[in-house]
Amino acid sequence: DVKVTQSSRYLVKRTGEKVFLECVQDMDHENMFWYRQDPGLGLRLIYFSYDVKMKEKGDIPEGYSVSREKKERFSLILESASTNQTSMYLCASSSSGTQETQYFGPGTRLLVL
Amino acid sequence: AQSVTQPDIHITVSEGASLELRCNYSYGATPYLFWYVQSPGQGLQLLLKYFSGDTLVQGIKGFEAEFKRSQSSFNLRKPSVHWSDAAEYFCAVGGVPSNDYKLSFGAGTTVTVRA
Tell me the pLDDT tens digit for each residue of A66-100: 999 999 999 999 999 999 999 999 999 988 765 67
What is the percent of chain B with per-residue pLDDT over 90, rounded to a whole number? 70
What architecture is the A4-112 domain classified under in CATH?
Sandwich (2.60)
pLDDT at B27: 76
Residues of chain B in contact with residue A4, where contact means CB-CB under 8 angstroms, are: 43
CA end-to-end distance (rounded Å), chain B: 41
Residue B40 — very low, low, confident or very high, per pLDDT cuts 50/70/90?
A: confident
Q: In this complex, is the C-beta atom of A93 within 8 Å of any C-beta atom belonging to chain B? A: no
Are A86 and A78 contacting, i.e. CB atoms less than 8 angstroms apart? no
Q: Which residues in chain A (60-89) have CB-CB distances under 8 A to chain B? A: none
Residue ranges of the domains in chain A?
A: 4-112
Residue B112 — very low, low, confident or very high, per pLDDT cuts 50/70/90?
A: very high
The b/e string for A86-98 (b: 16+ C-beta within 10 A; e otherwise) is: bbbbbbbbbeeee
Report the residue of chain B nearest A93, measured CA to CA: B101
Are B90 and A43 contacting, i.e. CB atoms less than 8 angstroms apart? yes
Report the residue of chain A nearest B90, measured CA to CA: A42
Class of domain B3-114: mainly beta
pLDDT at B59: 96
Residue A108 — very low, low, confident or very high, per pLDDT cuts 50/70/90?
A: very high
Listed residue (A2, A18, A19) closest to A10, CA to CA: A19
pLDDT at B53: 84
Tell me the pLDDT tens digit for each residue of B72-88: 999 999 999 999 999 99
Residue ranges of the domains in chain B?
A: 3-114
